Amino acid sequence: MSAAASRPQPRPGVLDIEAYVPGKSTAEGAEKIYKLSSNETPLGASPKAIEAFKSVVQGLEFYPDGLSTKLREAIAAKYGLDAERILCGSGSDELLSLLANAYVGPGDEGVMSEYGFLVYPIAIRAAGGKPVIAKERDFQTDVDALLKAVTPRTKLVFLANPNNPTGTYIPYSEVKRLHAGLPPHVLLVLDAAYAEYVRRNDYASGLELVSTSENVVMTRTFSKIFGLANLRIGWLYGPAHVVDALNRIRSAFNVNGAAIAAGAAAITDDAHVAAALAHNDRWLPWLTSKISALGLSVTPSVGNFLLIHFPTEPGKTAKDADAFLSRRGLILRTLGAYNLPNALRLTIGSEEANHKVVETLGKFLSEAVPARG
């Protein structure tokens, strides 16, 4: 008997999937850690959300509401939506996977942009499909390339807008052009995880397009500006037939009670969101300017993070910078898994962290010595 036949084996393709690796959270030997690798808000969660979270403690023995009714109704009230067309999940990651599981099968294809979120190819492959990559232009989604990548086997198109890890976006006119060029049976998935941060008049998250289309869904998250990443809360707005399909295959209690309560409270705290926006509006351009002045290339971002490009010169590479920063407690996101080995992603942090990262990058560049062979 072969070794393969002596134990259960995953179906073909599962072991070809590269597992998602989150950003680092520790740095050995550093006195103080500045975690700037996961695009978390430095302002933390809303006080209202924290109080709501605490209120659930006395009912931990009970199952949560399997329909996340309170949370869906709070989201609907906030954005003027039909609560019946909202689906909540354990982070938007779960919803992206549910979409792939519902609409992609063996032999099918899912299209995504070159530097799209790593969960997309994982979700497509896990459903038995094949990810098809459309090249970007200057780290920005190319609608023509996406449309060219569509074939008779395409079942869905993932579009992160704004995109992670690049921080770039495409205007709403381009999103509509993409949608208009897709066959009606292809599902367009608009991942708007960073929508709340965007300050551009030509941007839209996609709610209007969802409301007027049968083949568009939009996903959002509470992990970023709302500061609830630990609770894993995502939501989706889509056509009734899509929501119905996903409800049939999702876990029965996929959002816990604390998440439902905290999310419903967080979305009503306009002051906390405004403070987070004001912080980002101040430090995003400041960091872009200061880091660019050091001689490093920074991709213009509309999110709460920056894509920083490093030289390929030995001693000054992104890998060298990551090691130098980590030893001093500054943890940025390495991007080898995104095929961006010469870049690091920096989350907009606290005032202290922002000043420290600029100061430390300056030291790195001034002290860098080419490696000797």
**Residue 44, Ramachandran bin (φ over 0: left; ψ between -120 and 50: alpha; else beta):** left
Total number of domains in the chain? 2
CA 224/CA 41 separation, integer angstroms: 6
3-state secondary structure of 44: coil
Q: How many residues does the chain have?
A: 373
The answer to whether residues 231 and 262 touch, using CB atoms and an 8 Å cutoff, is yes
Assess whether 363 and 278 both reside in one domain: yes
Which residue matches tokens 């509470």?
Answer: 222
Question: Which of 250, 268, 286 finishes a domain?
Answer: 268
Assess whether 64 and 17 both reside in one domain: no
Domain that holds residue 59: 47-268
Q: How far is CA 347 from CA 3, 74, 151, in A?
A: 45, 28, 36
Residue 4 in any domain: the answer is no
Q: Comparing 224 with 20, which gets the higher pLDDT?
A: 224
Question: Is the confidence at residue 373, as pLDDT, over 70?
Answer: no
CA 58/CA 344 separation, integer angstroms: 43
The answer to whether residues 166 and 308 touch, using CB atoms and an 8 Å cutoff, is no
3-state secondary structure of 330: strand
Backbone φ and ψ for 349, nearest 5 degrees, come out as -105, -160
Interval 73-83: pLDDT, tens:
999 999 999 99
Residue 3 in any domain: the answer is no
The pLDDT of 140-146, averaged and rounded, is: 98
**Residue 29, Ramachandran bin (φ over 0: left; ψ between -120 and 50: alpha; else beta):** left
Q: What is the CATH number of the domain that holds 276?
A: 3.90.1150.10
- Which stretch of DSSP H or E encloses residue 120? helix 119-126
Q: Comparing 8 with 69, which gets the higher pLDDT?
A: 69
Q: What count of other Cβ atoms lies within 10 Å of the Cβ of residue 183?
A: 9
CA 190/CA 103 separation, integer angstroms: 15
Question: Which of 268, 301, 331 finishes a domain?
Answer: 268
Assess whether 143 and 260 both reside in one domain: yes
The pLDDT of 94-102, averaged and rounded, is: 97
Residue % of the chain over a pLDDT of 70: 95
Q: What is the CATH number of the domain that holds 149?
A: 3.40.640.10
Q: Comparing 326 with 14, which gets the higher pLDDT?
A: 326
Q: Give pLDDT, residue 4.
A: 62
Question: Is the confidence at residue 21, as pLDDT, over 80?
Answer: no
Assess whether 97 and 206 both reside in one domain: yes
Sequence-distant (6+) residues with CB within 8 A of 82 are 76
Assess whether 148 and 281 both reside in one domain: no
Interval 31-77: pLDDT, tens:
799 999 999 999 999 999 999 999 999 999 999 999 999 999 999 99
Residue 175 in any domain: the answer is yes
Which residue matches tokens 């898994």?
Answer: 337
Interval 256-287: pLDDT, tens:
999 999 999 999 999 999 999 999 999 999 99
> Sorting pLDDT into bands at 50, 70 and 90, what band is 14?
confident
Residue 5 in any domain: the answer is no
Question: Which of 268, 296, 318 finishes a domain?
Answer: 268
The answer to whether residues 129 and 148 touch, using CB atoms and an 8 Å cutoff, is no
DSSP one-letter code for 133: E
